[in-house]
Structure 1
Amino acid sequence: MVDPTSDHHEDIDEDEAPECATCGTPIANEVTHRVITWIEDNSVETAHFCDEECRMEWQ
Protein backbone atom coordinates (compact mmCIF):
# COMPACT_ATOMS: atom_id res chain seq x y z
CA MET A 1 0.00 0.00 0.00
CA VAL A 2 1.12 3.52 -0.76
CA ASP A 3 1.83 5.96 2.07
CA PRO A 4 -1.49 7.84 2.53
CA THR A 5 0.38 11.14 2.93
CA SER A 6 2.11 10.86 -0.46
CA ASP A 7 1.04 12.45 -3.73
CA HIS A 8 -1.23 9.70 -5.10
CA HIS A 9 -1.71 11.49 -8.39
CA GLU A 10 1.96 11.10 -9.36
CA ASP A 11 3.32 7.87 -10.90
CA ILE A 12 1.31 5.30 -8.93
CA ASP A 13 0.59 1.86 -10.42
CA GLU A 14 -3.04 0.70 -10.16
CA ASP A 15 -1.98 -2.47 -8.31
CA GLU A 16 -0.45 -0.32 -5.53
CA ALA A 17 -3.08 2.41 -5.56
CA PRO A 18 -5.75 2.75 -2.87
CA GLU A 19 -9.31 1.92 -3.87
CA CYS A 20 -12.25 4.28 -3.64
CA ALA A 21 -14.28 3.49 -0.50
CA THR A 22 -17.51 4.11 -2.44
CA CYS A 23 -17.08 2.59 -5.91
CA GLY A 24 -13.96 0.42 -5.49
CA THR A 25 -12.07 1.96 -8.40
CA PRO A 26 -8.26 2.07 -7.96
CA ILE A 27 -7.16 5.68 -7.54
CA ALA A 28 -3.98 6.05 -9.57
CA ASN A 29 -2.67 9.33 -10.92
CA GLU A 30 -5.93 11.21 -10.27
CA VAL A 31 -5.86 14.83 -9.16
CA THR A 32 -9.48 14.44 -7.99
CA HIS A 33 -8.38 11.97 -5.26
CA ARG A 34 -9.86 12.78 -1.82
CA VAL A 35 -8.94 11.29 1.57
CA ILE A 36 -10.57 11.60 4.96
CA THR A 37 -8.87 10.52 8.19
CA TRP A 38 -10.27 9.83 11.65
CA ILE A 39 -9.32 8.17 14.93
CA GLU A 40 -11.12 4.94 15.86
CA ASP A 41 -10.17 2.64 18.75
CA ASN A 42 -6.88 4.53 19.26
CA SER A 43 -5.74 4.03 15.66
CA VAL A 44 -5.77 6.21 12.57
CA GLU A 45 -8.26 5.19 9.88
CA THR A 46 -8.43 6.57 6.35
CA ALA A 47 -10.88 6.34 3.48
CA HIS A 48 -9.89 7.19 -0.09
CA PHE A 49 -12.26 8.47 -2.76
CA CYS A 50 -11.79 8.93 -6.51
CA ASP A 51 -13.57 12.30 -6.47
CA GLU A 52 -15.74 14.60 -4.37
CA GLU A 53 -18.96 12.97 -5.60
CA CYS A 54 -17.89 9.55 -4.25
CA ARG A 55 -16.76 11.18 -1.01
CA MET A 56 -20.17 12.77 -0.52
CA GLU A 57 -21.99 9.48 -1.30
CA TRP A 58 -19.97 7.68 1.42
CA GLN A 59 -21.35 9.84 4.24
Structure 2
Amino acid sequence: MVDPTSDLGEDVDEADAPSCASCGSKIVQSPTHRVVTWIEDGSVQTRHFCSEECKAEADDAW
Protein backbone atom coordinates (compact mmCIF):
# COMPACT_ATOMS: atom_id res chain seq x y z
CA MET A 1 0.00 0.00 0.00
CA VAL A 2 1.20 3.49 -0.81
CA ASP A 3 1.18 5.89 2.14
CA PRO A 4 -1.94 8.09 1.63
CA THR A 5 -0.28 10.90 3.61
CA SER A 6 2.79 11.13 1.37
CA ASP A 7 3.76 14.53 0.04
CA LEU A 8 3.45 13.29 -3.52
CA GLY A 9 0.10 11.56 -3.15
CA GLU A 10 0.87 9.55 -6.26
CA ASP A 11 -0.61 6.12 -6.90
CA VAL A 12 -3.23 6.42 -4.15
CA ASP A 13 -6.53 5.15 -5.42
CA GLU A 14 -9.82 6.13 -3.86
CA ALA A 15 -10.17 2.82 -1.99
CA ASP A 16 -6.94 3.50 -0.05
CA ALA A 17 -7.35 7.26 0.30
CA PRO A 18 -8.30 8.82 3.64
CA SER A 19 -11.68 10.52 4.08
CA CYS A 20 -12.13 14.07 5.29
CA ALA A 21 -13.11 14.04 8.98
CA SER A 22 -15.42 16.99 8.36
CA CYS A 23 -17.26 16.41 5.06
CA GLY A 24 -16.43 12.75 4.35
CA SER A 25 -14.93 13.28 0.86
CA LYS A 26 -12.15 10.97 -0.22
CA ILE A 27 -8.83 12.83 -0.39
CA VAL A 28 -6.93 11.87 -3.53
CA GLN A 29 -3.97 13.93 -4.79
CA SER A 30 -5.23 17.08 -3.10
CA PRO A 31 -2.78 19.95 -2.51
CA THR A 32 -5.11 21.28 0.21
CA HIS A 33 -4.99 18.01 2.23
CA ARG A 34 -4.39 18.71 5.94
CA VAL A 35 -3.55 16.14 8.60
CA VAL A 36 -3.81 16.66 12.35
CA THR A 37 -1.94 14.18 14.55
CA TRP A 38 -1.80 13.69 18.30
CA ILE A 39 -0.88 11.06 20.89
CA GLU A 40 -3.73 9.46 22.81
CA ASP A 41 -3.27 6.57 25.25
CA GLY A 42 0.25 5.98 23.92
CA SER A 43 -0.69 5.68 20.24
CA VAL A 44 -0.69 8.10 17.33
CA GLN A 45 -4.11 9.35 16.21
CA THR A 46 -4.78 11.24 12.97
CA ARG A 47 -7.58 13.19 11.34
CA HIS A 48 -7.51 14.09 7.66
CA PHE A 49 -9.17 17.14 6.13
CA CYS A 50 -9.65 17.95 2.45
CA SER A 51 -9.16 21.70 2.97
CA GLU A 52 -8.32 24.35 5.53
CA GLU A 53 -12.02 25.28 5.56
CA CYS A 54 -13.07 21.75 6.59
CA LYS A 55 -10.35 21.73 9.24
CA ALA A 56 -11.59 25.07 10.60
CA GLU A 57 -15.19 23.78 10.71
CA ALA A 58 -14.04 20.71 12.64
CA ASP A 59 -11.95 22.85 15.01
CA ASP A 60 -15.05 24.90 15.80
CA ALA A 61 -17.11 21.75 16.42
CA TRP A 62 -14.56 20.04 18.69
Q: Greater Rg, structure 1 or structure 2? A: 2
TM-score (structure 2 length as normaliser): 0.81
Alignment match, 1:35: 35
8 Å CA contact 2:19, 2:26 repeated in 1:
yes
Aligned residues: 59
8 Å CA contact 1:27, 1:33 repeated in 2:
yes
Please give the root-mean-square deviation of Cα atoms over the aligned residues, in Å: 1.9
Return structure 1 stretches of 4+ with deviation > 3 angstroms. none
8 Å CA contact 1:37, 1:47 repeated in 2:
yes
8 Å CA contact 1:32, 1:51 repeated in 2:
yes
Q: Which has the higher helix share?
A: 2
Query: Percent identity between the aligned chains?
Result: 63
